[in-house]
């Protein structure tokens, strides 16, 4: 999941991208349900994330 953060950053920075300078990469959140929620817990300490959202993923 953390590797996926590079894609919007690259799209926002690339002048050939239709998303060029249209994304606010300072306001990124990860969310997930069930197993996706557990994956979100694993990535929650990533400094580029503003918040995380967990739905029915258990607790640790």
List, for residues 2-50, the tens digit of each pLDDT value.
Answer: 999 999 999 999 999 999 999 999 999 999 999 899 889 899 999 999 9
- How many Cα atoms within 13 Å fall on the side-chain side of residue 6? 2
With 0.85 as the threshold, say if the pTM is over it: no
Residues β-bridged to residue 53 = 31
Residue 59 — very low, low, confident or very high, per pLDDT cuts 50/70/90?
A: low
**The pLDDT of residue 46:** 95
Distances (CA, A) of 5 to 44, 46, 58: 13, 10, 24
Residue with more model confidence, 31 or 57: 31
């Amino acid at each position: 999941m953390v590797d996926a953060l590079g894609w919007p950053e690259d799209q926002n920075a690339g002048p050939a991208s239709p998303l060029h300078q249209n994304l606010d990469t300072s306001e990124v959140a990860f969310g997930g349900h069930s197993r996706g929620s557990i994956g979100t817990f694993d990535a929650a300490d990533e400094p580029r994330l503003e918040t995380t959202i967990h739905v029915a993923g258990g607790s640790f």
